[in-house]
Structure 1
Amino acid sequence: MSSPLDQGGMAFSDAERGFLQGLIPFLLYLFPVVTGALADRYGYKRMFWLSFLIMCPGYYLLGQAQGFWSFFFAFLAVAIGAACFKPVVLGTISRTTSAQNRGLGFGIFYTMINLGGFLGPFVAGYLRAISWDLVFLVSAGWIAINMLILGLFYREPTSEFTGAKKLTISENKDLRSLREVLLEAQDILGNGRLAFLLIPLIMGLLVSVKFNVNIKDYAIASICWLTINLFWSHWVKMNYSSTLTRSSRGRSGPRPWYQQ
Protein backbone atom coordinates (compact mmCIF):
# COMPACT_ATOMS: atom_id res chain seq x y z
CA MET A 1 0.00 0.00 0.00
CA SER A 2 2.96 2.33 0.47
CA SER A 3 4.28 1.64 -3.03
CA PRO A 4 4.06 4.23 -5.86
CA LEU A 5 0.74 5.07 -7.50
CA ASP A 6 1.67 3.34 -10.76
CA GLN A 7 2.02 0.09 -8.77
CA GLY A 8 -1.40 0.45 -7.16
CA GLY A 9 -0.14 1.87 -3.87
CA MET A 10 -0.81 5.16 -2.10
CA ALA A 11 2.66 6.64 -2.64
CA PHE A 12 3.48 7.23 1.03
CA SER A 13 6.63 9.20 1.70
CA ASP A 14 9.61 7.73 3.55
CA ALA A 15 8.55 9.68 6.65
CA GLU A 16 5.02 8.28 6.49
CA ARG A 17 6.26 4.73 6.01
CA GLY A 18 8.65 5.15 8.92
CA PHE A 19 5.84 6.49 11.09
CA LEU A 20 3.67 3.45 10.35
CA GLN A 21 6.46 0.91 10.70
CA GLY A 22 7.64 2.45 13.95
CA LEU A 23 4.38 3.15 15.78
CA ILE A 24 2.15 0.22 14.81
CA PRO A 25 4.53 -2.63 15.80
CA PHE A 26 5.36 -0.75 19.01
CA LEU A 27 1.68 -0.68 20.00
CA LEU A 28 1.15 -4.23 18.76
CA TYR A 29 3.72 -5.58 21.22
CA LEU A 30 2.77 -3.22 24.06
CA PHE A 31 -1.00 -3.74 24.20
CA PRO A 32 -1.02 -7.55 24.79
CA VAL A 33 0.23 -6.98 28.34
CA VAL A 34 -3.03 -5.15 29.08
CA THR A 35 -5.37 -7.15 26.83
CA GLY A 36 -4.10 -10.44 28.23
CA ALA A 37 -4.81 -9.24 31.77
CA LEU A 38 -8.29 -8.11 30.72
CA ALA A 39 -8.93 -11.53 29.15
CA ASP A 40 -8.10 -13.21 32.47
CA ARG A 41 -10.60 -10.94 34.19
CA TYR A 42 -13.50 -10.78 31.73
CA GLY A 43 -13.14 -14.02 29.78
CA TYR A 44 -11.23 -15.29 26.78
CA LYS A 45 -14.25 -15.66 24.54
CA ARG A 46 -15.25 -12.04 25.09
CA MET A 47 -11.77 -10.88 24.12
CA PHE A 48 -11.89 -13.06 21.02
CA TRP A 49 -15.17 -11.39 20.06
CA LEU A 50 -13.70 -7.97 20.69
CA SER A 51 -10.64 -8.82 18.62
CA PHE A 52 -12.65 -10.03 15.63
CA LEU A 53 -15.16 -7.18 15.84
CA ILE A 54 -12.26 -4.72 15.62
CA MET A 55 -10.19 -6.53 12.98
CA CYS A 56 -12.98 -7.39 10.55
CA PRO A 57 -14.01 -3.80 9.73
CA GLY A 58 -10.37 -2.73 10.15
CA TYR A 59 -9.21 -4.96 7.30
CA TYR A 60 -12.11 -3.86 5.12
CA LEU A 61 -11.43 -0.16 5.76
CA LEU A 62 -7.76 -0.62 4.86
CA GLY A 63 -8.89 -1.36 1.32
CA GLN A 64 -11.14 1.71 1.27
CA ALA A 65 -8.59 4.21 2.60
CA GLN A 66 -7.99 7.21 0.35
CA GLY A 67 -5.27 8.98 2.30
CA PHE A 68 -2.61 8.55 4.94
CA TRP A 69 -4.72 9.23 8.01
CA SER A 70 -7.65 7.04 6.98
CA PHE A 71 -5.15 4.25 6.29
CA PHE A 72 -3.39 4.89 9.60
CA PHE A 73 -6.54 4.62 11.73
CA ALA A 74 -7.70 1.48 9.90
CA PHE A 75 -4.24 -0.02 10.36
CA LEU A 76 -4.31 0.98 14.03
CA ALA A 77 -7.64 -0.84 14.44
CA VAL A 78 -6.12 -4.00 12.97
CA ALA A 79 -3.16 -3.70 15.35
CA ILE A 80 -5.41 -3.28 18.39
CA GLY A 81 -7.51 -6.25 17.31
CA ALA A 82 -4.40 -8.39 16.85
CA ALA A 83 -3.14 -7.28 20.27
CA CYS A 84 -6.40 -8.58 21.76
CA PHE A 85 -6.12 -11.85 19.83
CA LYS A 86 -2.60 -13.13 20.49
CA PRO A 87 -2.55 -13.33 24.32
CA VAL A 88 -5.97 -15.00 24.31
CA VAL A 89 -4.73 -17.75 21.99
CA LEU A 90 -1.68 -18.35 24.17
CA GLY A 91 -3.79 -18.30 27.32
CA THR A 92 -6.27 -20.77 25.83
CA ILE A 93 -3.49 -23.21 24.99
CA SER A 94 -1.98 -22.83 28.45
CA ARG A 95 -5.30 -23.45 30.22
CA THR A 96 -6.46 -26.39 28.11
CA THR A 97 -3.22 -28.40 28.10
CA SER A 98 -1.32 -30.22 30.82
CA ALA A 99 2.40 -30.63 31.40
CA GLN A 100 2.26 -33.82 29.30
CA ASN A 101 0.82 -32.27 26.12
CA ARG A 102 1.58 -28.54 26.43
CA GLY A 103 4.55 -28.82 24.08
CA LEU A 104 2.31 -30.41 21.46
CA GLY A 105 -0.29 -27.66 21.89
CA PHE A 106 2.17 -24.83 21.39
CA GLY A 107 3.86 -26.76 18.60
CA ILE A 108 0.59 -26.94 16.65
CA PHE A 109 -0.01 -23.23 17.30
CA TYR A 110 3.37 -22.10 15.96
CA THR A 111 3.15 -24.53 13.05
CA MET A 112 -0.09 -22.84 12.00
CA ILE A 113 1.56 -19.43 12.33
CA ASN A 114 4.49 -20.47 10.15
CA LEU A 115 2.17 -22.10 7.62
CA GLY A 116 0.12 -18.91 7.40
CA GLY A 117 3.28 -16.83 7.09
CA PHE A 118 4.42 -19.05 4.21
CA LEU A 119 1.15 -19.26 2.29
CA GLY A 120 -0.12 -15.74 3.03
CA PRO A 121 2.19 -13.86 0.66
CA PHE A 122 1.33 -16.20 -2.21
CA VAL A 123 -2.41 -15.79 -1.70
CA ALA A 124 -2.10 -12.03 -1.19
CA GLY A 125 0.10 -11.72 -4.27
CA TYR A 126 -2.46 -13.57 -6.38
CA LEU A 127 -5.31 -11.40 -5.08
CA ARG A 128 -3.28 -8.23 -5.50
CA ALA A 129 -2.86 -9.00 -9.20
CA ILE A 130 -6.65 -8.84 -9.44
CA SER A 131 -7.30 -5.90 -7.10
CA TRP A 132 -5.84 -4.35 -3.96
CA ASP A 133 -9.36 -4.07 -2.57
CA LEU A 134 -9.81 -7.82 -2.92
CA VAL A 135 -6.81 -8.48 -0.64
CA PHE A 136 -8.45 -6.66 2.24
CA LEU A 137 -11.95 -7.86 1.43
CA VAL A 138 -10.82 -11.49 1.64
CA SER A 139 -8.94 -10.73 4.87
CA ALA A 140 -12.09 -9.26 6.40
CA GLY A 141 -14.09 -12.23 5.16
CA TRP A 142 -11.66 -14.67 6.75
CA ILE A 143 -12.03 -12.88 10.08
CA ALA A 144 -15.81 -13.17 9.68
CA ILE A 145 -15.42 -16.93 9.18
CA ASN A 146 -13.38 -17.07 12.38
CA MET A 147 -16.23 -15.28 14.16
CA LEU A 148 -18.58 -18.04 13.01
CA ILE A 149 -16.19 -20.72 14.27
CA LEU A 150 -15.85 -18.85 17.56
CA GLY A 151 -19.60 -18.70 18.09
CA LEU A 152 -20.20 -22.35 17.22
CA PHE A 153 -17.24 -24.23 18.66
CA TYR A 154 -15.18 -22.20 21.13
CA ARG A 155 -15.79 -22.87 24.81
CA GLU A 156 -14.46 -20.69 27.59
CA PRO A 157 -11.49 -22.47 29.23
CA THR A 158 -12.83 -22.55 32.79
CA SER A 159 -10.12 -24.77 34.26
CA GLU A 160 -6.38 -25.10 34.13
CA PHE A 161 -3.84 -27.71 35.06
CA THR A 162 -1.34 -27.13 37.85
CA GLY A 163 0.79 -30.24 38.06
CA ALA A 164 -1.41 -33.20 38.90
CA LYS A 165 -4.29 -31.06 40.20
CA LYS A 166 -7.06 -29.74 38.01
CA LEU A 167 -8.67 -26.61 39.42
CA THR A 168 -12.44 -26.47 39.64
CA ILE A 169 -14.46 -23.71 37.99
CA SER A 170 -15.06 -21.90 41.28
CA GLU A 171 -11.39 -22.14 42.28
CA ASN A 172 -10.29 -20.78 38.93
CA LYS A 173 -12.78 -17.87 38.78
CA ASP A 174 -11.05 -14.49 38.47
CA LEU A 175 -12.68 -12.02 40.86
CA ARG A 176 -10.11 -9.25 40.60
CA SER A 177 -11.32 -5.72 40.00
CA LEU A 178 -10.36 -3.81 36.87
CA ARG A 179 -7.98 -1.70 38.95
CA GLU A 180 -6.22 -4.82 40.27
CA VAL A 181 -5.92 -6.19 36.74
CA LEU A 182 -4.33 -3.00 35.45
CA LEU A 183 -1.97 -2.86 38.42
CA GLU A 184 -0.78 -6.39 37.64
CA ALA A 185 -0.29 -5.37 34.01
CA GLN A 186 1.85 -2.49 35.29
CA ASP A 187 3.95 -4.97 37.29
CA ILE A 188 4.58 -6.94 34.11
CA LEU A 189 5.62 -3.83 32.21
CA GLY A 190 8.05 -3.04 35.01
CA ASN A 191 8.89 0.36 36.44
CA GLY A 192 5.98 2.67 35.67
CA ARG A 193 8.10 5.81 35.93
CA LEU A 194 10.58 4.47 33.41
CA ALA A 195 7.79 3.70 30.95
CA PHE A 196 6.31 7.17 31.51
CA LEU A 197 9.73 8.65 30.74
CA LEU A 198 10.53 6.66 27.60
CA ILE A 199 7.17 6.33 25.85
CA PRO A 200 6.69 10.11 25.27
CA LEU A 201 10.26 10.33 23.93
CA ILE A 202 9.64 7.48 21.49
CA MET A 203 6.24 8.81 20.43
CA GLY A 204 7.67 12.30 20.05
CA LEU A 205 10.42 11.01 17.77
CA LEU A 206 7.89 9.25 15.54
CA VAL A 207 5.63 12.30 15.40
CA SER A 208 8.55 14.62 14.65
CA VAL A 209 9.52 12.46 11.68
CA LYS A 210 5.96 12.41 10.32
CA PHE A 211 5.38 16.16 10.66
CA ASN A 212 8.92 17.20 9.70
CA VAL A 213 9.64 18.76 13.08
CA ASN A 214 13.12 20.25 13.30
CA ILE A 215 15.44 17.90 15.16
CA LYS A 216 16.61 20.81 17.33
CA ASP A 217 13.04 21.45 18.49
CA TYR A 218 12.66 17.77 19.32
CA ALA A 219 15.96 17.82 21.23
CA ILE A 220 14.86 20.89 23.25
CA ALA A 221 11.52 19.27 24.09
CA SER A 222 13.32 16.07 25.11
CA ILE A 223 15.71 17.97 27.39
CA CYS A 224 12.75 19.72 29.03
CA TRP A 225 11.00 16.39 29.56
CA LEU A 226 14.15 14.83 31.05
CA THR A 227 14.56 17.84 33.35
CA ILE A 228 10.99 17.47 34.60
CA ASN A 229 11.66 13.80 35.34
CA LEU A 230 14.87 14.65 37.20
CA PHE A 231 12.94 16.97 39.51
CA TRP A 232 10.30 14.26 39.81
CA SER A 233 12.94 11.73 40.88
CA HIS A 234 14.30 14.20 43.42
CA TRP A 235 10.79 14.62 44.87
CA VAL A 236 10.42 10.83 45.10
CA LYS A 237 13.73 10.53 46.98
CA MET A 238 12.71 13.25 49.39
CA ASN A 239 9.46 11.44 50.17
CA TYR A 240 10.84 7.89 50.18
CA SER A 241 11.87 8.00 53.84
CA SER A 242 8.31 8.82 54.91
CA THR A 243 7.07 5.93 52.78
CA LEU A 244 9.46 3.57 54.58
CA THR A 245 8.22 4.88 57.92
CA ARG A 246 4.60 4.14 57.03
CA SER A 247 5.60 0.66 55.80
CA SER A 248 7.32 -0.08 59.12
CA ARG A 249 4.02 0.64 60.86
CA GLY A 250 2.30 -2.20 59.08
CA ARG A 251 1.06 -0.36 56.01
CA SER A 252 3.47 -1.97 53.61
CA GLY A 253 2.65 -2.56 49.99
CA PRO A 254 3.83 -1.82 46.47
CA ARG A 255 4.69 1.80 45.80
CA PRO A 256 2.49 3.70 43.33
CA TRP A 257 3.96 4.03 39.84
CA TYR A 258 4.56 7.77 40.30
CA GLN A 259 6.77 7.04 43.33
CA GLN A 260 8.94 4.42 41.65
Structure 2
Amino acid sequence: MRATQLAAAAVATGALVLGMAGPALADSPTQSGPKAGQFCKKADIGKKVKLADGTLLKCALKAGQKVPHWVDISGQTPPTKPSPPVTPKPVFRFGFDKVQLSSRVVAPGRHTTFTVTCPSAVTITSNGYTRSPLPVRKAGKATWTATGTFKSSLPDPTVATVVCKGFGSVKYSTHPSKNPSKGGNSMQPTTPKIPNGRIDTGDGSMYRPAAGSGAPLMAIGWGALAAAGLGAVALRRRTARERSTVA
Protein backbone atom coordinates (compact mmCIF):
# COMPACT_ATOMS: atom_id res chain seq x y z
CA MET A 1 0.00 0.00 0.00
CA ARG A 2 2.74 2.40 0.93
CA ALA A 3 4.65 1.53 -2.25
CA THR A 4 1.59 2.31 -4.35
CA GLN A 5 1.19 5.73 -2.71
CA LEU A 6 4.85 6.58 -3.29
CA ALA A 7 4.61 5.64 -6.96
CA ALA A 8 1.52 7.79 -7.43
CA ALA A 9 3.22 10.74 -5.76
CA ALA A 10 6.23 10.35 -8.05
CA VAL A 11 4.04 10.34 -11.14
CA ALA A 12 2.21 13.45 -10.01
CA THR A 13 5.46 15.26 -9.28
CA GLY A 14 6.85 14.35 -12.70
CA ALA A 15 3.73 15.56 -14.44
CA LEU A 16 3.92 18.88 -12.58
CA VAL A 17 7.54 19.38 -13.58
CA LEU A 18 6.81 18.63 -17.23
CA GLY A 19 3.83 20.94 -17.19
CA MET A 20 5.96 23.83 -15.96
CA ALA A 21 8.81 23.12 -18.39
CA GLY A 22 6.59 22.98 -21.47
CA PRO A 23 5.80 26.70 -21.78
CA ALA A 24 9.37 27.62 -20.95
CA LEU A 25 10.72 25.54 -23.81
CA ALA A 26 8.16 26.97 -26.21
CA ASP A 27 9.17 30.58 -25.44
CA SER A 28 12.89 29.94 -25.42
CA PRO A 29 14.76 31.90 -28.13
CA THR A 30 17.03 28.97 -28.61
CA GLN A 31 14.08 26.95 -29.92
CA SER A 32 11.94 29.36 -31.95
CA GLY A 33 14.06 32.52 -31.80
CA PRO A 34 12.93 36.05 -31.03
CA LYS A 35 9.81 37.60 -32.41
CA ALA A 36 9.33 40.95 -34.11
CA GLY A 37 8.53 43.59 -31.52
CA GLN A 38 10.17 41.82 -28.58
CA PHE A 39 12.78 43.57 -26.52
CA CYS A 40 16.43 42.85 -27.17
CA LYS A 41 19.60 43.69 -25.31
CA LYS A 42 21.50 46.89 -25.96
CA ALA A 43 24.58 44.74 -26.49
CA ASP A 44 22.76 43.06 -29.41
CA ILE A 45 21.95 46.31 -31.26
CA GLY A 46 22.76 45.70 -34.92
CA LYS A 47 22.69 41.93 -34.56
CA LYS A 48 20.65 39.99 -37.11
CA VAL A 49 18.83 36.68 -36.61
CA LYS A 50 17.30 34.52 -39.31
CA LEU A 51 14.41 32.34 -38.15
CA ALA A 52 13.52 28.86 -39.40
CA ASP A 53 10.73 30.27 -41.60
CA GLY A 54 13.17 32.64 -43.30
CA THR A 55 12.16 35.76 -41.35
CA LEU A 56 15.11 38.08 -40.79
CA LEU A 57 15.12 40.12 -37.58
CA LYS A 58 17.44 42.84 -36.46
CA CYS A 59 17.95 44.28 -33.00
CA ALA A 60 17.54 48.03 -33.44
CA LEU A 61 16.92 51.10 -31.33
CA LYS A 62 14.57 53.42 -33.19
CA ALA A 63 14.25 57.14 -32.62
CA GLY A 64 12.20 57.87 -29.49
CA GLN A 65 12.71 54.40 -28.00
CA LYS A 66 14.64 53.74 -24.81
CA VAL A 67 14.83 49.98 -25.22
CA PRO A 68 15.85 48.23 -28.47
CA HIS A 69 13.43 45.87 -30.20
CA TRP A 70 13.64 43.07 -32.71
CA VAL A 71 12.61 44.47 -36.11
CA ASP A 72 11.54 42.43 -39.12
CA ILE A 73 13.83 43.44 -41.97
CA SER A 74 12.88 40.65 -44.36
CA GLY A 75 12.96 41.85 -47.99
CA GLN A 76 14.59 45.17 -47.15
CA THR A 77 17.62 46.16 -49.21
CA PRO A 78 20.56 47.74 -47.47
CA PRO A 79 20.95 51.47 -48.13
CA THR A 80 23.43 52.34 -50.82
CA LYS A 81 25.78 55.26 -50.86
CA PRO A 82 24.82 57.99 -53.33
CA SER A 83 26.91 58.00 -56.47
CA PRO A 84 29.36 60.88 -56.67
CA PRO A 85 28.46 63.54 -59.24
CA VAL A 86 29.97 62.94 -62.66
CA THR A 87 32.27 65.74 -63.73
CA PRO A 88 32.12 66.24 -67.51
CA LYS A 89 35.44 65.86 -69.27
CA PRO A 90 36.79 69.01 -70.89
CA VAL A 91 36.30 69.17 -74.66
CA PHE A 92 39.58 69.15 -76.60
CA ARG A 93 39.97 71.92 -79.16
CA PHE A 94 42.86 71.90 -81.59
CA GLY A 95 44.51 75.20 -82.50
CA PHE A 96 47.83 76.99 -82.81
CA ASP A 97 48.24 76.82 -79.02
CA LYS A 98 48.58 73.03 -79.35
CA VAL A 99 51.60 73.30 -81.71
CA GLN A 100 55.13 74.32 -80.70
CA LEU A 101 57.82 75.05 -83.31
CA SER A 102 61.50 74.88 -82.34
CA SER A 103 62.25 77.50 -85.02
CA ARG A 104 60.17 79.63 -87.35
CA VAL A 105 63.09 80.63 -89.59
CA VAL A 106 62.72 79.35 -93.15
CA ALA A 107 66.07 78.83 -94.90
CA PRO A 108 67.63 76.06 -97.01
CA GLY A 109 69.03 73.26 -94.85
CA ARG A 110 67.56 74.51 -91.56
CA HIS A 111 65.61 72.20 -89.27
CA THR A 112 62.23 72.66 -87.56
CA THR A 113 60.84 70.38 -84.86
CA PHE A 114 57.08 70.30 -84.31
CA THR A 115 55.72 69.33 -80.89
CA VAL A 116 51.98 68.74 -81.14
CA THR A 117 49.35 68.02 -78.48
CA CYS A 118 46.64 65.80 -79.95
CA PRO A 119 44.62 62.91 -78.43
CA SER A 120 44.29 61.00 -81.74
CA ALA A 121 46.95 61.08 -84.49
CA VAL A 122 49.02 63.79 -86.20
CA THR A 123 49.98 64.38 -89.83
CA ILE A 124 52.32 67.20 -90.97
CA THR A 125 52.67 68.12 -94.65
CA SER A 126 54.65 70.92 -96.29
CA ASN A 127 55.87 72.12 -99.69
CA GLY A 128 59.20 73.26 -98.26
CA TYR A 129 60.61 70.23 -96.45
CA THR A 130 62.67 67.49 -98.05
CA ARG A 131 60.12 64.92 -96.78
CA SER A 132 56.36 65.34 -96.87
CA PRO A 133 54.56 64.21 -94.84
CA LEU A 134 57.09 64.46 -92.04
CA PRO A 135 57.83 61.29 -90.02
CA VAL A 136 55.75 61.77 -86.86
CA ARG A 137 56.39 59.77 -83.69
CA LYS A 138 54.56 59.62 -80.37
CA ALA A 139 56.57 61.25 -77.57
CA GLY A 140 54.09 60.82 -74.70
CA LYS A 141 50.45 60.77 -73.80
CA ALA A 142 48.70 62.84 -76.51
CA THR A 143 52.08 64.31 -77.54
CA TRP A 144 53.65 63.97 -80.99
CA THR A 145 56.91 65.23 -82.52
CA ALA A 146 58.33 65.54 -86.02
CA THR A 147 61.43 67.18 -87.49
CA GLY A 148 61.77 68.52 -91.02
CA THR A 149 64.69 69.84 -93.07
CA PHE A 150 64.07 72.62 -95.59
CA LYS A 151 64.89 72.08 -99.26
CA SER A 152 67.80 73.84 -100.97
CA SER A 153 65.27 75.69 -103.14
CA LEU A 154 62.20 76.96 -101.30
CA PRO A 155 58.82 77.86 -102.82
CA ASP A 156 57.19 81.21 -102.16
CA PRO A 157 55.18 81.04 -100.04
CA THR A 158 56.50 78.10 -98.02
CA VAL A 159 53.67 76.46 -96.08
CA ALA A 160 53.18 73.68 -93.52
CA THR A 161 49.90 72.12 -92.39
CA VAL A 162 49.46 70.26 -89.08
CA VAL A 163 46.42 67.96 -88.85
CA CYS A 164 45.06 66.50 -85.60
CA LYS A 165 42.85 63.66 -86.80
CA GLY A 166 39.22 64.29 -85.94
CA PHE A 167 39.90 67.68 -84.32
CA GLY A 168 40.97 70.00 -87.16
CA SER A 169 44.16 71.50 -88.56
CA VAL A 170 46.33 74.62 -88.51
CA LYS A 171 48.44 76.11 -91.27
CA TYR A 172 51.71 78.05 -91.22
CA SER A 173 53.02 80.18 -94.09
CA THR A 174 55.86 82.58 -94.88
CA HIS A 175 53.17 84.94 -96.25
CA PRO A 176 50.23 84.44 -93.88
CA SER A 177 48.42 87.54 -95.16
CA LYS A 178 49.19 86.78 -98.83
CA ASN A 179 51.14 90.02 -98.90
CA PRO A 180 54.76 89.60 -100.13
CA SER A 181 55.86 92.58 -98.04
CA LYS A 182 55.15 90.60 -94.88
CA GLY A 183 56.97 87.48 -93.82
CA GLY A 184 59.20 85.86 -96.39
CA ASN A 185 61.68 83.97 -94.21
CA SER A 186 59.55 83.22 -91.16
CA MET A 187 56.82 80.63 -90.72
CA GLN A 188 53.77 82.34 -89.21
CA PRO A 189 50.23 81.12 -88.37
CA THR A 190 47.77 81.78 -91.15
CA THR A 191 44.03 82.20 -90.74
CA PRO A 192 41.34 82.97 -93.31
CA LYS A 193 40.79 86.71 -93.73
CA ILE A 194 37.95 88.68 -95.30
CA PRO A 195 39.28 90.82 -98.20
CA ASN A 196 38.73 94.56 -97.98
CA GLY A 197 39.25 97.52 -100.29
CA ARG A 198 38.27 97.81 -103.95
CA ILE A 199 37.49 94.67 -105.89
CA ASP A 200 39.71 93.96 -108.87
CA THR A 201 37.37 92.57 -111.54
CA GLY A 202 40.24 91.46 -113.80
CA ASP A 203 38.97 93.35 -116.89
CA GLY A 204 40.89 96.54 -116.26
CA SER A 205 38.21 98.21 -114.16
CA MET A 206 38.45 98.36 -110.34
CA TYR A 207 34.76 98.83 -109.77
CA ARG A 208 31.66 97.50 -111.49
CA PRO A 209 28.52 99.51 -110.58
CA ALA A 210 25.30 97.82 -109.70
CA ALA A 211 22.46 97.48 -112.18
CA GLY A 212 20.62 100.77 -112.71
CA SER A 213 23.47 102.92 -111.45
CA GLY A 214 26.10 102.27 -114.15
CA ALA A 215 24.52 104.30 -116.99
CA PRO A 216 24.69 107.73 -115.29
CA LEU A 217 28.31 107.14 -114.29
CA MET A 218 29.26 106.10 -117.82
CA ALA A 219 27.34 109.10 -119.29
CA ILE A 220 29.19 111.51 -117.02
CA GLY A 221 32.51 110.03 -118.10
CA TRP A 222 31.77 110.25 -121.82
CA GLY A 223 30.34 113.75 -121.36
CA ALA A 224 33.56 114.93 -119.79
CA LEU A 225 35.60 113.50 -122.67
CA ALA A 226 33.31 115.09 -125.30
CA ALA A 227 33.51 118.50 -123.61
CA ALA A 228 37.29 118.33 -123.61
CA GLY A 229 37.34 117.48 -127.35
CA LEU A 230 34.99 120.31 -128.33
CA GLY A 231 37.01 122.79 -126.33
CA ALA A 232 40.19 121.82 -128.18
CA VAL A 233 38.47 122.29 -131.60
CA ALA A 234 37.14 125.74 -130.65
CA LEU A 235 40.59 126.79 -129.47
CA ARG A 236 42.20 125.79 -132.78
CA ARG A 237 39.57 127.71 -134.83
CA ARG A 238 40.04 130.85 -132.74
CA THR A 239 43.81 130.74 -133.20
CA ALA A 240 43.42 130.36 -136.97
CA ARG A 241 41.13 133.44 -137.19
CA GLU A 242 43.55 135.57 -135.18
CA ARG A 243 46.43 134.61 -137.47
CA SER A 244 44.43 135.47 -140.64
CA THR A 245 43.44 138.91 -139.24
CA VAL A 246 47.05 139.84 -138.46
CA ALA A 247 48.20 138.82 -141.93
Q: TM-score interval w.r.t. the shorter chain?
A: under 0.3
Identify the structure with the greater helix proportion.
1
| Greater radius of gyration (CA) | 2
TM-score, structure 1 as length reference: 0.16
Greater share of strand residues, 1 or 2?
2
The TM-score with structure 2 as length reference comes to: 0.16
